[in-house]
Amino acid sequence: MKMKTLKFNEYFKLNEIYKEEIVKNADSVRKSNAQGVVVEFVKFHFRKKYIEFRVMDPRGSGKWWQVFIQIQNIAQISRDKKMPASEKIQLAIDAGDIKVSCKCPDFLYGGYKYIAHVAEFGIEKEEREPVFKNPKTKGTVCKHILGALQDIDNHIDAIEKSYKEEAKNKYKKKTI
């Protein structure tokens, strides 16, 4: 898919977007606010390659928001039989193409869902430009996604366990 011409930084010209780039190019307010968020791992969704988190900022609304991080390259990386599953997951997260989504109002209506879609690191489509809330399309994601991306390394064991469980269930033969 050809990239649209964007008003914001040229760093989105790549075909793949990595965790480090999303975090590095987030705006400073979101980076600061992400420092205090509480991140809980929920589940690895095998079919869609999503890692689901619940994220809450105790200084903000106090509500829990769903964050999804889709690791695109997990299928290719998981074919390596010699590498332990935890290393495969870590590699897919750190060096693989990822896509993100959050259900919070800042991501949905603050322009980040649009930025993610146009720059091809969004899970969901968003065609409406953020004319009022973020007209200069600054930043990359909300504090919840940033917090989850910054804390994801602390959840590798839980992600691995969920990944193996989901894989086992997917390939389990169904008996009637």
One-character DSSP codes across 72-122: TTHHHHTT-TTS-HHHHHHHHHHHS-EEEEE-SHHHHHSSHHHHHHHTT-B
Beta-bridged to residue 98, according to DSSP, are 71
State the pLDDT at residue 173: 54
Cα separation, 47 vs 71, whole angstroms:
11
* Mean predicted confidence (pLDDT) in 112-140: 91
- Give the single-character DSSP code of 83: S
Cα separation, 119 vs 15, whole angstroms:
9
Give me the percent of the chain exceeding a pLDDT of 70. 88
Q: How many CB atoms lie within 10 A of CB 71?
A: 25
Band of pLDDT at residue 9, cut at 50, 70 and 90: very low
Q: Where are the domains of the chain?
A: 13-166
**Token pair listed for 158:** 């839980």
Q: Which helix (H) or strand (E) holds 24?
A: helix 19-24
* Mean predicted confidence (pLDDT) in 30-35: 94
Q: Decide if pLDDT at 83 tops 60.
A: yes
* Mean predicted confidence (pLDDT) in 61-85: 90
The pLDDT tens digits for 138-147 are: 899 999 999 9
Q: Decide if pLDDT at 24 tops 60.
A: yes
Band of pLDDT at residue 17, cut at 50, 70 and 90: confident
**Token pair listed for 32:** 């600061």
State the pLDDT at residue 14: 47
- Evaluate the CA torsion angle 124, 142, 15, 77 in order and state its sign: negative
Which of the residue ranges 5-19, 47-61, 93-107, 154-168 would you say has the lowest mean pLDDT?
5-19
Q: What is the mean pLDDT of the chain?
A: 87
Measuring CA to CA, which residue among 88, 61, 98, 75 is closest to residue 159? 88
- 65 compared with 61, residue with greater pLDDT: 65
Beta-bridged to residue 122, according to DSSP, are 100
Cα separation, 44 vs 88, whole angstroms:
14
Beta-bridged to residue 54, according to DSSP, are 40, 66
State the pLDDT at residue 60: 86
Band of pLDDT at residue 7, cut at 50, 70 and 90: very low
Beta-bridged to residue 112, according to DSSP, are none
